[in-house]
Amino acid sequence: MNIYDVSERAGVSIATVSRVINGNSNVSEKTRNKVIDVMKEIGYTPNVFARGLGLNTMSTIGIMCTDSSDLYLANAVYYLERELRANGYDSILCCTGTKSETKKKYFELLMSKRVDAIILIGSKFLSTIAAENAYIIEAAKKLPIMLVNGYLEGDNIYSALCDDETAVFTATDALIKSGRKDIVYLYTSTSYSGMRKLEGYRKAHFLHNIPLNPERIHLCGKNIANSRDFLNELYDKGSRFDAIVTSDDTLAVGALKFAYDKGVSVPSELNIIGYNNSILSNCTAPELTSIDTKLESLCVTTINTLMGIFNGEDVPSKINISADIIKRNTTNF
């Protein structure tokens, strides 16, 4: 038995149940009594009390991501679990792959396991087709849905987002201001976050009156060989460029390999900027300048928001966090 069983049977929102549990005065006497009656009836003991009494309520948060072997997602899982544990919550994780039907099936699995909230990591978890996200909006009637760097409009859905557009804009703008003009953009996803990054690249060009060159904008798989091969081919076709901005460090590593392949000097002839400031950016020589997307902050914020919801507090449904550029040795601005 779970807070959403109480909410359903009492015919009130989860926030109202939370307010009653936490003794918040902003609930009518009648509603309070109804909620307490339902709690007694179904034998529900709220976690905050239960923990004080040393009872084992098995309160658990569900976490979902598409692929645990992705560095960004794996680190997000690590931070989320650390924060949940610090707040006395257990968590279970489902890795769903990218197919829509499998995501939905795993979502139902977590619901059936009686989790108290579901956290979805990455904007890739959401479909770009609105109808395919309907099950999430429906589920949010029963329990809070938390999105880490993803955005979906709906009641009881909460987002903590990195400002990816500004991050790529700032990086591209800095390159242009330092004299670079022919900037390749390599990206891996057309998700919400993927589109925001591309928009940042576009805006910086627009602002500086530099036309976009479609052959320099390339969507490719998230691995080293893909970006390396694409850049070698582009170069062999006679195209010349003086900077590469990427949506993931993996692609930036491939860009460095391309530079070795062709004897192009980094950073003097070619600037390279990675994304996510992962361990890969420390492994290369020269080390990669990369955009720190504040993943730890996003995860801490998500759990703080969730704890706020459980405590019946008013919490914002969307929080934006700014990225930073970590300057290492593949740029000279």
Binding residue for a copy of itself (CB under 8 A) from 75, 100, 304, 317? 75
121 binds a copy of itself (CB under 8 A): no
Pairwise CA distance, residues 260 & 245, whole Å:
17
Q: Build a one-symbol-per-residue string for 207-236: x at contacts with a copy of itself by CB under 8 A, - elsewhere.
A: -----------------x------------
Q: Measured between alpha carbons, how far is residue 121 from residues 59, 70, 71, 328 in Å?
A: 20, 11, 12, 28
Phi and psi (nearest 5°) for 187? -140, 165
Q: CB 285 → a copy of itself: shortest distance, Å?
A: 5
137 binds a copy of itself (CB under 8 A): no
320 binds a copy of itself (CB under 8 A): no
Asked whether the CA dihedral 129, 196, 295, 147 is positive or negative, the reply is: negative
Binding residue for a copy of itself (CB under 8 A) from 77, 146, 157, 174? 77
Helix (H) or strand (E) holding 235: helix 224-236
Nearer to a copy of itself, 34 or 294 (CB): 294
280 binds a copy of itself (CB under 8 A): yes
Q: What Rg value do the Cα atoms of the chain yield, rounded?
A: 23
3-state helix, strand, coil in the chain (%, to 5): 50, 15, 35
Binding residue for a copy of itself (CB under 8 A) from 36, 48, 50, 74? 74
92 binds a copy of itself (CB under 8 A): yes
CB proximity list for 91: less than 8 A, separation 6 or greater: 60, 61, 62, 63, 80, 81, 84, 85
- CA 103 to chain CA centroid, nearest Å: 16
Binding residue for a copy of itself (CB under 8 A) from 22, 24, 45, 102? 102
Which residues contribute to the site for a copy of itself (CB under 8 A)?
Answer: 58, 60, 67-69, 71, 74-75, 77-78, 81-82, 85, 90-95, 97, 102, 105-106, 109-110, 112-113, 224, 250, 253, 256, 260, 279-280, 282-285
